[in-house]
Amino acid sequence: MAKRELYDVSDEEFAYFLNAAHGELGRENMPYIFVGGTAVQLQCAKRLCDIHGVDISTLASEPKLQSKDVLRLQDHIRATDDVDLALASSVYEQGSSSPTQESNGTVSERDVLFYNRVGRVLDGLQREAISPSEEHILDYRIHRRGVKRPVFQVYVDGEGGDEQLIAMNLSRQPSDLKSLEDVHYDEFVERGETLAIPYNPDFNINARVISPTDLLAAKTAKFRAKDTMDLHSLADLMRANGEEVDVEGMRRILGPEYEHNLQRFISIMNAEHQ
């Protein structure tokens, strides 16, 4: 299989998709937050726009801003081919859990209701649209349906291939996530914040995103190589934007089990500013 395209929020087709997902989930009244790498991109992009007083398209294209002494967008935003979302567990818990007979086997009323709601969201995302710059035609087609990992084929001006795919990782209950996010699942969703990030003068990326403190705590708990990069990027941009990194808030979330990881995170922050 061909290597899949990696997207970041400066890509029009990715920016449009995130905003469209926010709209479709809102129409279905499905509380959610973007998590993982998608959330890091959005939180970092918001702060880059605030710091430099420009929109995303300007950040990505302005030579003066892109000079290595000022800003390289790729140094702060890690590209991804997945869109990670956590739905409030109350979305899945609606309806009876008693099994009912369906044509494809025995499922619960709860499952049927959830599958139908997700299906309507996916159908709503399958569309042809004008890009945020109004210079391209974007086309999103369902490549694989599903309630856990649906995949969309992306076409720009009629061109696309097997590598131009956006996969959605949908979590619906704590057991769908590992590590810290399992324990604090619904707290994270409830504390999520809605961002309006300017892509250009005529288009915002509207998205509900895990809060910065919760996101930093979740990344600190895992501390894989990509998490380390994300921690660097978000913490540095928060401080450059005049925000305090809430280490004590992270400690309350992490608990004694992850104190060693928290100390590693603190060491990284201190080393960056010595």
> Domain map of the chain by residue range?
12-210, 212-274
Distance CA 146, CA 192 (A): 25
Q: What angle do CA 194, 199, 203 make, to 5 degrees?
A: 80
Distance CA 37, CA 164 (A): 18
> pLDDT tens digit string along 191-201?
999 999 999 99
Do residues 43 and 212 touch, judged by C-beta distance below 8 A?
yes
Do residues 199 and 132 touch, judged by C-beta distance below 8 A?
yes
Q: For the chain, give the longest Cα–Cα distance.
A: 64
Burial 19-48 (b: 16+ CB within 10 A, else e): bbbbebbeeeebbbbbbbbbbbbbbbbbbb
Which residue carries 């604090």 as its tokens? 184
What DSSP string runs through 56-92? HHHHHH-HHHHSTTT--GGGT---BSEEEEEE-HHHH
- Give the pLDDT of the chain (274 residues) as one tens digit per residue: 455 769 999 999 999 999 999 999 999 999 999 999 999 999 999 999 999 999 999 998 875 665 555 566 778 899 998 999 999 998 887 655 555 544 455 678 889 999 999 999 999 999 999 999 999 999 999 999 999 999 999 999 999 988 899 999 999 887 656 666 567 899 999 999 999 999 999 999 999 999 999 999 999 999 999 999 999 999 999 999 999 999 999 999 999 999 999 999 999 888 766 6
> pLDDT tens digit string along 52-63?
999 999 998 875
Amino acid 152: pLDDT: 97
**Whole-structure pTM value:** 0.90
Amino acid 73: pLDDT: 76
Residue 94 amino acid letter: Q
Distances (CA, A) of 9 to 17, 18, 41, 264: 10, 9, 7, 29
Phi, psi values for residue 156, rounded to 5°: -120, 115
Amino acid 181: pLDDT: 59
Amino acid 97: pLDDT: 58
Contacts of 245 (CB under 8 A, 6+ apart): 216, 235, 238, 239, 269
Sign of the CA dihedral with 187 first, then 198, 81, and 238 last: negative
Q: What angle do CA 77, 78, 83 make, to 5 degrees?
A: 105
Distance CA 13, CA 165 (A): 11
How many other C-beta atoms can be found within 10 angstroms of the C-beta atom of residue 5? 18
Distance CA 146, CA 3 (A): 22
Amino acid 101: pLDDT: 47
